[in-house]
């Protein structure tokens, strides 16, 4: 049985993430290093994947692929930040 992708749910989650990123950007002086790094990471991945402003410009498969990459790559990026001493492991949730 093939799993059905909940596109509406992904759209809602993604839009909330973008709205939060925009809100955090306006409060950059108050951001933690981890928040700043996530914002750069997320926006960079949007650009890398060829989306203009939002991952929801793509079709269902592209959106699913995008968020799979976010999940996998963010874990690796947090580990890099811990390894280079930018943040500590407890802050990264590792």
pLDDT digits over 2-42, tens only? 556 566 666 666 777 777 777 666 655 567 899 999 999 99
Rg, C-alpha atoms of the chain: 14
Residue of 38, 94, 93, 35 lying closest to 70 (CA atoms): 38
**Gap between the Cα atoms of 47 and 91, Å rounded:** 27
Domain boundaries, the chain: 31-92
pLDDT digits over 43-56, tens only? 999 889 888 778 88
**Gap between the Cα atoms of 77 and 68, Å rounded:** 14
Half-sphere exposure of 34 (CA within 13 A, CB side): 13
Q: Which two tokens stand for residue 29?
A: 């002086």
């Amino acid at each position: 049985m093939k799993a059905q992708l909940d596109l509406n749910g992904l759209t809602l989650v993604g839009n909330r993430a973008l709205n939060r990123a925009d809100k955090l950007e306006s409060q950059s002086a108050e951001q933690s290093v981890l928040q700043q790094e996530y914002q750069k990471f997320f926006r960079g991945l949007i650009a890398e994947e060829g989306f203009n402003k939002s991952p929801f410009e793509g079709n269902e498969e592209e959106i699913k692929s995008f968020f799979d990459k976010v999940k996998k790559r963010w874990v690796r990026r947090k580990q890099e930040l811990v390894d280079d001493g930018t943040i500590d492991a407890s802050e990264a949730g590792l």
